[in-house]
Structures are given as structure tokens and as C-alpha cells.
Amino acid sequence: MTRLFKLRDITIYKDTQYYCGPGPSSVLLPDGRILVAFRRARDWTSEGVIAHGFPSTDACLTCSDDEGCSWSKPVVFTAGNITNQNLLRLPNGVLLCLTQRGELVPLKVYEKWKDQKPFHYNEAFGWAHASFGVQVMRSFDDGLTWEGPFFISPVPDIDPIFPDWPSPSGLRASPITLQDGAVGVAVYGLRGGKRKSGNVWFMTSTDFGETWVPRGRIADDPDGTHYPNETSVYQCESGKLVAFMRIENTSERLLCTSESHDSGVNWSPWQPQNIKGHPFQAARLSTGQVLLAYGYRRTPMGVRACLLDANCDNLDTTQELILRDDGGSFDLGYPHVLPLPGGKALITYYHNVDNGLRFVTGSLVEVK
């Protein structure tokens, strides 16, 4: 019987000047180098402020050519009010990076429309902002230069906040390359602008991320009873698609899943699984098995993973591996799985110890 083992933890980027997180991701380049994208903002922990949603943010790239033992100096490739960076390298070599984007809203505009539009006001930072949707950046030279942004818009039933703005959707995980050649990703938003009214769509692109169309609705909660949101999608070798969902109002914050057997057009009602945590991301290892990783935001806080069969049918019986349990607060996780040769994988995430500095780290694991 094969099992999942942790080999070692890896520090990817840690700087006392910066808050890093959430959501790093990685890709494997043809020459064997590992490329990681992550978010950083100026750190204000010493002043009692956590820069989780700080509007001045760098999106950075760092690279390792020795399986994560050492990393290059980060290079900023875009900036703004952006959050987690989600990489995908397409079979033709095009590199995509997807992220959520926000726009600052003048306080005068906020006061005028705050009762009618889904604005957010952050008391810690003293600013108002609104979602500007999911932006896509694209590189044809493995991250040296970039073009964009493009936007995943329009998304059905997710109304723009202002005319000519993109649909105010968000995303959790990197897109995937589908068996039919399209690129697919799950995005979520508020149905009709209603707060907590979750609406998760599977969007696809056939022109390498420049334009996107809806293929099918993964989850809908028009009354705001459960609020499905951060969702990642995995395609099994059989062609079945599995959506791993974060749904706020479920007992014990359990993983919920939905399946599609027609390339993402129709999806089954979500079902709770016997795995606690959020959010989730899965990838196929060289062994054919599927590695699922997720944050664990309850004591002892950290990151966990489990090994699934090729069709993701053993969610109820899989054994959980604790990667980290030394987190000092719930502000951690958002793991991404990068398969490596020989049954190995690098799981990247952001972390903190003793509720201190947030940094980008990872765990190298292996199936034996």
C-alpha cells in the first residue's frame, strides 16, 4: 500500500519588511526549474495591523533550480490591489497568472452608493474598495515579460458594480488544462450583488486566456443560506471533473464536492465530505494518484494533505497527512500542489508562527 510522506519544509521567501499571502502557486519549467508566484505587501504587524487586504501589493516571481533548496531574488511583474497569484503553464508554453483585483473607491462615492452596491470598507486601512473581477496576465517567455490584463467577464448573474466594469468575481485556484484543449477555472461571486449569495461558475477559454465563456454553473445559493465560494476544479484521467468547494455555512467547515461528467456543463448537487479544512487544491502525481492539499484553520492550525485514487473516489477513507501544525493564527494556508518527477510534489502555501511574520513556504512530499 502506497502512502504519502513529508520529506522536508522549504522556506521560499521571508522578509521582515513584507506580509506575504495568501495564495502562492508554482509551475515546473521544461529545464527543471520551479517558478513560484506570490503576493507581498508592506508589513504593518508591529502597528497591530495585518496586511491581508492591503491595497498596495506586489506580484512577485522567484525561481529555484535545486528542488527548492535555494531561491532567486523576487522580481515584481505586476502590482496593485491584487490578491493570490494562480499560475498555469499551458502545453504550448504560454504561462498564465490569474488573480482577484480590486479598485479603490473614493469615500464620497462610497457614501453615496454603500447601501446599494457591494462595497467593502476596511476600518484598519481606512479605505473603501470594490471588486474588479478576475484578471489574467499572460507570458510567452516563462515570466520575463507579460501582457494583459484580460478579464474573466461577463460571468452570468454576477452584475458589474459600475457600467463597463468586469463581473466582480473571485477565484481560489489555478486554472487547469482540460482534455478537450480548453483552459478551465472556477470563479465565484455574489448573485445579483446580494451579500453571501454564492454563485460558482466554471469558465473556459480557447484562446490561451484572452477571452472566457461560461460552460456551466457549479453551485448556486440565491438565498445566501450556505455561501459557496472558493472552488478549485480537477479533471480525472477518466474525464470526470471534481470541484472542491469551500462552503461557509456547513457543519464543521467540511469539504464539499460536486462532479461533472460532461466536461463541466452540468454539475451534481454539492456533497459534504469527511475532510475538514479550506480551501482546497488537487493535482495528479506521476504515480497516477491525486494529491489534495488544504489549509487547517483550527487548533492546531496549519496545512494538511491526503492521497486520493485516480478517480477521487476515496475521500471518505483516505488518510490525512499533517504538513504543518505550528501556525499561530488562521491567517495561513491556501496551498498549491506542484507534481514533480518520481512521485514527489511541492506544496506551496503561506504560513505564520506565533501569529508573527507571514511568509511563503512549502513542503516537499513523496509517495512511497
Mean pLDDT score of the chain: 94
Mind listing the pLDDT tens digit for each residue in 57-67? 999 999 999 98
* Domain annotation covers residue 4: no
Work out the pLDDT band at 197, boundaries 50, 70, 90: confident
* Domain annotation covers residue 94: yes
Peptide bond into 279 cis (omega under 30): yes
Residue 195 has pLDDT above 70, yes or no: no
Tell me the average pLDDT across 193-210. Answer: 87
pLDDT score recorded for residue 45: 86
If one compares 250 and 29, the residue with the highest pLDDT of the two is: 29
| Total structural domains within the chain | 1
Cα distances from 9 to residues 32, 345, 368, in angstroms, run 19, 12, 18
* Domain annotation covers residue 237: yes
Instruction: Decide: 123 and 107 in contact? Cβ < 8 Å.
Output: no
Work out the pLDDT band at 55, boundaries 50, 70, 90: confident
* Domain annotation covers residue 311: yes
pLDDT score recorded for residue 194: 62
Mind listing the pLDDT tens digit for each residue in 98-130? 999 999 999 999 999 999 999 999 888 889 999
* Domain annotation covers residue 52: yes
Helix count and strand count (H, E) for the chain:
1, 26
If one compares 299 and 251, the residue with the highest pLDDT of the two is: 299
Domain of residue 147 covers 19-344
* Domain annotation covers residue 10: no
| Nine cell digits for residue 355 | 501569529
CA distance 120 to 52: 14
DSSP assignment of 72-110 equals: PPPEEEEEESB---EEEE-TTS-EEEEEEEEEEE-HHHH
Q: What is the CATH number of the domain that holds 200?
A: 2.120.10.10
Sheet hosting strand 241-247, strand order edge to edge: 228-235, 241-247, 254-260, 271-276
* Domain annotation covers residue 12: no
